A and B are shown apart, each in its own frame.
Chain A
Amino acid sequence: MTALEVQGLDKSFGGLRVTAAVDLAVAPGERHLIIGPNGAGKTTLFNLITGELKPDRGSVRLFERDITRVPSRRRAHLGLARTYQIITLFPGETLMHNIVLSLLGLSRLRWSPVLRLDHQTALLDGARAALARVGLDHLADRPLAQTAYGERRRIEIAMALAQNPKVLLLDEPFAGLSIDERRDVQQLLAAIPRDVTIVMIEHDMDVALDFAERITVLHFGEVVVEGTRAEVVAHPRTREIYLGE
Chain B
Amino acid sequence: MRRLALAFGLLVLATLPFWVGNSYYTNIASQILLYAVFALGLNVLVGYAGLVSLGHAGLFGIAAYTGALLINSGAGHLLAILGALGVTLLAAAAFAMLSLRGTGLGFVMITVALGQIVWGVAYRWISITNGDNGVSIATRPAPFGLTLATAPGFYWASLVVFLVSLGAIAVFAASPFGISLRGTRDQPRRMNALGYHVWMIRFLAFLFSGLWSGVAGMLFLYYNQFVSPQSVALTSSAEVLLMVIAGGTGTLLGPFAGAALVVIMKNVASAYIERWNFVLGAIFVAIVIFMPEGLVPGSLRFWRWTLTRLRPRRPAAVAAPVRAPLPNREGGA
Interface residues of A (CB under 8 A from B): 50, 52, 72-74, 76-77, 81-82, 84, 86-93, 97, 100-102, 104-107, 109-118, 120, 143-146, 149, 152, 159, 163, 176
Q: Is the CB of A93 within 8 A of B182?
A: yes
18 A-B interface contacts by CB (under 8 A): A76-B195, A84-B190, A86-B333, A87-B331, A88-B189, A88-B190, A89-B331, A89-B332, A90-B190, A91-B324, A91-B325, A112-B176, A113-B177, A114-B172, A117-B174, A117-B175, A145-B324, A152-B332
Q: Is the CB of B175 within 8 A of A116?
A: yes
0/1 per residue, B163-174, Cβ < 8 Å to A?
Answer: 000000001101
Q: How many angstroms between the C-alpha atoms of A235 and B327 in the bound complex?
A: 46
Partner of B333, one of A92, A107, A149: A149
Partner of A91, one of B172, B322, B332: B332
Q: Please give 12 more A-B residue pairs, beta carbons under 8 A apart, in addition to A86-B330, A100-B179, A102-B194.
A: A72-B193, A76-B195, A81-B193, A89-B332, A90-B183, A101-B180, A105-B195, A110-B176, A113-B178, A117-B176, A145-B328, A145-B332
Partner of B324, one of A52, A82, A116, A146: A146
| B106 → chain A closest CB, angstroms | 20
Q: How many angstroms between the C-alpha atoms of A227 and B313 in the bound complex?
A: 65
Q: How many angstroms between the C-alpha atoms of A91 and B179 in the bound complex?
A: 13
Q: How many angstroms between the C-alpha atoms of A146 and B197 in the bound complex?
A: 29
0/1 per residue, B182-200, Cβ < 8 Å to A?
Answer: 1100110111111111100
* Interface residue count on the B side (C-beta < 8 Å): 33
Q: How many angstroms between the C-alpha atoms of A104 and B330 in the bound complex?
A: 22
**In this complex, what residue of B is CB-closest to A78?**
B195
Q: How many angstroms between the C-alpha atoms of A90 and B177 in the bound complex?
A: 15
> Which residues from A are CB-within-8-Å of B325?
91, 145
| A124 → chain B closest CB, angstroms | 11
Q: How many angstroms between the C-alpha atoms of A233 and B193 in the bound complex?
A: 33
A90 and B186 contact, Cβ closer than 8 Å, known pairs A50-B193, A102-B194? yes
> Which residues from A are CB-within-8-Å of B187?
88-90
Q: Is the CB of A52 within 8 A of B192?
A: yes
> Which residues from B are CB-within-8-Å of A90?
182-183, 186-187, 190, 327
Q: How many angstroms between the C-alpha atoms of A180 and B324 in the bound complex?
A: 28
**In this complex, what residue of A is CB-closest to B194?**
A105
> Which residues from A are CB-within-8-Å of B196?
73, 105, 110
